[in-house]
Structure 1
Amino acid sequence: MEFAEKLGWKLQRRDEDDEVETFCNGIGVSRQVFKVWMHNHKNSSSASSPSPGNASSLTSDQ
């Protein structure tokens, strides 16, 4: 979630492309999967303590 927060929970078409690509490759998901994950989790970032499943949910089904 930290990286998504850094991006402001938005993934622009070419913003920080190399950094996003490196991050996605590092966790083993496509840019599109990461974009959808950010959209689905942007409102949960305001929770005081995110559940442990949130971070792993990005990579568990891929």
Structure 2
Amino acid sequence: MTGGVEPHGGANVWKSDGELHSWNYDPENRYDWERKVEELFNKGVQELDPKKRKLI
């Protein structure tokens, strides 16, 4: 795996339906924290202002 400053490059790991999501393999029965991570990813990808994205 590689990294970078763009968090959405790791969406395949953090989102419950990602191919590299290595825990809780059932996206239908997500943990509360997994839902929160996905909510933050979705908010972040919709915000174009870098300062506002950092706040998310």
Q: What TM-score range do you get, normalising by the shorter chain?
A: 0.3 to 0.5
- Higher relative contact order by CA 8 Å / sep ≥ 6: 1 or 2? 1
Larger radius of gyration: 2
TM-score for both structures, normalised by structure 1: 0.40
Give the number of the structure whose residues are more often helix, by fraction.
Answer: 1
TM-score for both structures, normalised by structure 2: 0.42
